[in-house]
Amino acid sequence: MTESNVVVQKSFQEKMKDRIKDSIGELMTDEELKDLVNRGLEEAFFRERKVTTDSWGHTKIEPPFLHEILKELMIESVDKHVSEFINEHPDDVMKAIKEAHSLGMGNAIMLAITNKFQMDFIKFQTSIEQRLNNS
């Protein structure tokens, strides 16, 4: 009979912990090392970042690093799916393009703005009517 060895894949977090532990030896307990790795991962991937933009020290806030990683990974996939959709629905896409073109770009933009803010306009109108009626 042959023996089979089962190899369990370690998580990124566990690999980082082992690598740091090998580097610093017994200076930290396992619990302290685990907390250190967790804080580092939290900060690196999930907290907004302050980036200096010029020599005067102006900074801007950027989204967490994880957002950039996901964006880069997803762009190719999203482009592929959009292309597939367009190829599978050419008549629907052409109809939408013709409708937008027939309205004219100015009208299409105004229609989009109107649709976007329609509820706000209605609330504003209602508010004015209520104030006028209470006067």
DSSP-derived secondary structure letter, 9: P
Q: What is the pLDDT of residue 116?
A: 82
In terms of C-beta density within 10 A (0-12 exposed, 13-18 middle, 19 or more buried), how is residue 36 classed? middle
pLDDT-above-90 percentage for the chain: 6
Average pLDDT over residues 101-108: 75
Tell me how far apart the alpha carbons of residues 123 and 59 are, in angstroms, rounded to a whole number. 37
Range from 5-14, 51-60, 64-73, 105-114 carrying the lowest mean pLDDT: 5-14
Predicted pLDDT at 92: 92
Query: Per-residue pLDDT averaged across 27-34, rounded?
Result: 78
**Token pair in block for residue 97:** 């393009």
* pLDDT per residue as tens digits for the range 41-96: 888 788 888 887 777 878 888 888 888 888 888 888 888 998 999 999 999 989 98
pLDDT of residue 26: 65
The Cα 47–Cα 61 span in angstroms is 10
Q: Is 51 helix (H, G, I), strand (E, B) or coil?
A: strand
pTM over 0.75: no
Ranges of each domain in the chain: 92-135
